[in-house]
Chains A and B, each alone.
Chain A
Amino acid sequence: MSANTVLDPTSERSVAERALLERPTSLDGKVVGLLDISKPRGNVFLDRVEEGLRSRGAADVLRFAKPTYTKPAPVDLRHEIATKCDLIIEALAD
């Protein structure tokens, strides 16, 4: 048990994660994260997506990768993405 694991004090009627943010209407000035789920050649596809995002006004595109596509992203990675990005595209490629 990590010291960073706590017991939910609520009635557990809502999901533990926070609600989704509103969808942005434009990419202008936004930092976009691309999360590669680590399937083969996903990076090739994501390179083209990155080009497209940059040409459509994204201020920056940051690349992230899950250690394995079979498991959820580690909580530390999710936190890093949330800290650094305005929006994230979870990119599945196969």
Chain B
Amino acid sequence: MSTERPPLPDGLVAIVKRDCPTCVLVEPVLQALGGGGLHVYSQDDPTFPADLHASDDTDLTVSYHWDIETVPTLLRIVDGEEAERIVGWSREEWETFTGVEHLGPDLPDWRPGCGSLSVDPTRADELRARFSASGLRSRRIDFADLEDEFEAMYDRGWSDGLPVIPPTEARVARMLEGTDRAADDVVTIVPPDLVECTVEKVAVNAVMAGCLPEYLPVVLTALEAACTSEFNMHGLLATTFFSGPIVVVNGPIRKRIGMNDGVNALGQGNRANATIGRALQLVVRNVGGGKPGGVDRATMGSPGKLGWCFPEQEEGSPLTPLSVSRGVDAGVDAVTLFAGQGPQAIIDQKSRTAESLARTFAACLRSVAHPKLCIKIDAMLVISPEHGRVLADDGWDRARLEGRLAELLTLDSDELIAGADGITEGLPEGFAGMELPKFRDGGLLICHAGGGAGLFSAIIGGWVNGEEGSDPVTREIA
């Protein structure tokens, strides 16, 4: 199958369809121009216009490749290339374009054209698959007519347990419209099998996850961030710990693709939130080969490992956005990958001062992983709008909050050593007699999200950080 643009003859070329009232209206004009060498292509009926012997473009090859959006379209072809075009009917335009006077004297002066069949929504996917998807390199897998395709995909182990959408050529080609990157461009090396993963393979899995094409840039960037050595997707997958990759999205793209940063922002119910994180996990599963019970050795896991992505609510937040705090310019789209567990609620319905609320945050944050463990595990604090307002009312910004939390979470190590408080878990004896931070510098990530009602915030505990674990990674969305 060719995706080459078919040549058009030099001179005037008209693309029409009988189903278009404007094309029917200008039939006598086309016939008048026919004597002067006008060449007509018909999208639906080569016997139209009468007596002109129109070329058959019912398979829309010409219309698709010459980007015809409206019929009638009149093209001037010079040396095989388009010199100019007009669309619809305007006597004045047509006379200027053709150099012929008194065209269609009985016709109205002007009529808009109709949509070209090559951009008809019911045909566009099939055409894109026919003309552009032939470059897709993934192995084709046929299902039997009597085979249920959803069951067939389960049988092949492609699902995380929930149904996946069949990644047909047409769907994958449409998904690839979401990025300017070439389908065969290698995005990254995906663990645990360390497989080169192309944009096409990401698109296949994004289709299966339920993504729309406009989510694809977020998925691609999230995958790149996850597969860095700092984030350590391999270790995060293989660990017996609960954690999985959490994607926090910042920047205008949140709104453009319809993400939910409001009511139930960390929960279900929004397509973008639900499918972006799932697409990332499906790539790790299907391309990387990382499956529970295989390399994924989680003792219990977490429901968030189906995929967890949410946007920060930047509007009305007392805090600079998380991405900005991590070095990205304001207003630039970015993802932050965090190796996190599930959300743990903080209830504080009485604090009306930032200081009191910060003390609540600190008391709850101290319990991350274990009240006697520190430094080695990061955490994310998701502040709700109502708690955010308490901070804002006292004029606290990100720096003030982070500074105060660092003070409040500076711990007396005598309380942390093994055996203290009757608990064997704890630090070695040698750490006695000093002050230690609960979180390493930069180990507490704070963002803002949620519905407008509820004096609650959330802690998302992390996994072990640094060389033996995962460091959060923030990337601008390309």
Q: Given known contacts A5-B140, A6-B149, A79-B147, is B155 in contact with A18 (CB within 8 Å)? A: yes
Q: Across the interface, which residues of B come within 8 angstroms of A1, CB to CB?
A: 129, 168-170
In this complex, what residue of B is CB-closest to A15? Answer: B139
What is the number of residues of chain A that contact chain B, defined by CB distance less than 8 Å?
Answer: 21
Q: What does DSSP make chain A's interface, helix, strand, loop or mixed?
A: loop
Q: Are A76 and B144 in contact (CB under 8 A)?
A: yes
Minimum Cβ distance to chain A for residue B197 (Å): 8
Minimum Cβ distance to chain B for residue A7 (Å): 4
Whole-angstrom CA separation of A4 from B146 in the bound complex: 10
List which A39-56 residues lie within 8 A (CB) of chain B. Answer: none
A80 at the binding interface (Cβ < 8 Å): yes
Q: Are A9 and B145 in contact (CB under 8 A)?
A: no
Whole-angstrom CA separation of A8 from B142 in the bound complex: 10
Q: Across the interface, which residues of A come within 8 angstroms of B158, CB to CB?
A: 9-10
Q: Mark A65-82, 1 if CB is under 8 A from B, else 0.
A: 000000000011011100
- Chain B interface residue count: which class? 35 or more
Whole-angstrom CA separation of A16 from B158 in the bound complex: 12
Q: Are A7 and B140 in contact (CB under 8 A)?
A: yes
Q: Across the interface, which residues of A come within 8 angstroms of B141, CB to CB?
A: 5-8, 16
Q: Mark B185-224, 1 if CB is under 8 A from A, else 0.
A: 0000000010100001100110010000000000000000
List which B78-104 residues lie within 8 A (CB) of chain A. Answer: none
Q: Are B143 and A10 in contact (CB under 8 A)?
A: no
Q: Are A9 and B149 in contact (CB under 8 A)?
A: no
Whole-angstrom CA separation of A9 from B200 in the bound complex: 9
A25 at the binding interface (Cβ < 8 Å): no
- Of the residues A12, A13, A18, contact of B138 by C-beta under 8 Å: A12
Q: Given known contacts A1-B129, A4-B147, A75-B143, is B204 in contact with A9 (CB within 8 Å)? A: yes
Query: Beyond the given A2-B142, A7-B136, could you list 13 further A-B residue pairs with CB under 8 A, ordered by the A residue number?
Result: A5-B141, A5-B142, A5-B143, A6-B140, A6-B166, A8-B139, A9-B167, A11-B195, A18-B156, A76-B144, A79-B144, A79-B145, A79-B147
Instruction: Please give the residue numbers on chain A whose beta carbons come within 8 Å of chain B beta carbons, in ascending order.
Output: 1-13, 16, 18, 75-76, 78-80, 83
Instruction: Please give the residue numbers on chain B whose beta carbons come within 8 Å of chain A beta carbons, in ascending order.
Output: 129, 136, 138-147, 149, 153, 155-156, 158, 166-170, 172, 193, 195, 200-201, 204-205, 208, 282, 286-289
4 nearest interchain CB pairs? Answer: A79-B144, A7-B138, A8-B139, A11-B195
